[in-house]
Amino acid sequence: MKSISKRDKENIWHPLTQHKRSPEALGIVRAKGSILYDESGREYIDGIASWYTAMYGHCNPHIIDKVVHQMQKLDHVIFTGFTHEPAVKLAEELLKILPKNQNKLFFSDNGSTATEIGIKMALQYHFNHGKPRNVLLAFEEGFHGDTFGAMSVSGLSVYNGPFEDFFLDVERIPIPNSNNIEGILKNLSS
């Protein structure tokens, strides 16, 4: 039987990957805490928590218990025109610890989409106030995802270069620090 890695190479395109040059993807068969186990039994430390989605560790018993309990009650419902208790309760609890000028939340399911939503909210805010804007401000060398708006505000890279002609207009600034903040502020005000 073919390995997971070989079957993957025949059937899947992975994000942020140059497939002609990349080695086969590691076939991971299980995980526990911060350790991933491949199909040959080797162990790997998941130093980025699988793109920060497993920050409490893989197969965390408390999280698994809560997910199983919720799935037995309500697995999913579209969030347009519908709502549910876990979302309302989470919003109520988060608003208690956020600054007092926050009174509503918008939930998103991933980083790229969250970036897109933030861009759309900013553009729509100015449009709704009769002062449309079409240039975004972003830090140099950032990475915000691989959807078009997220790529637009990310630093330019081999991953998003072929799409540059389709990007939103972005003015890039260096990450501010004690040595450059005055120059950045001066350039922004001119």
pLDDT at residue 17, as a whole number: 81
Beta bridge partners of 136: 170
pLDDT at residue 73, as a whole number: 96
pLDDT at residue 21, as a whole number: 86
The C-alpha angle with vertex 152 and arms to 106 and 170, in degrees rounded to 5, equals 100
Mean per-residue pLDDT over the chain, rounded? 92
Higher pLDDT, 6 or 159: 6
Please tell me the distance from the alpha carbon of residue 101 to that of residue 95, in angstroms, as a whole number: 10
Q: Tell me which H or E stretch contains 31.
A: strand 28-32
Is pLDDT above 80 for 157? Answer: no
Residue 148, phi then psi, degrees to nearest 5: -65, -45
* Average pLDDT over every residue of 85-111: 93
The C-alpha angle with vertex 174 and arms to 170 and 180, in degrees rounded to 5, equals 140
Is pLDDT above 80 for 156? Answer: no
Q: What percent of the chain has pLDDT over 70?
A: 100
List, for residues 64-89, the tens digit of each pLDDT value: 999 999 999 999 999 999 999 999 99
* Average pLDDT over every residue of 16-42: 92
Q: Note whether 117 and 124 are within 8 A (CB).
A: no
Q: Measure Cα distances from 143 to 115, 134, 136, 159 in Å.
A: 10, 20, 15, 11
**Domains in the chain, CATH or no CATH each:** 4-60 (3.90.1150.10), 111-189 (no CATH)
pLDDT at residue 145, as a whole number: 85
Please tell me the distance from the alpha carbon of residue 152 to that of residue 136, in angstroms, as a whole number: 9
The model's pTM = 0.71
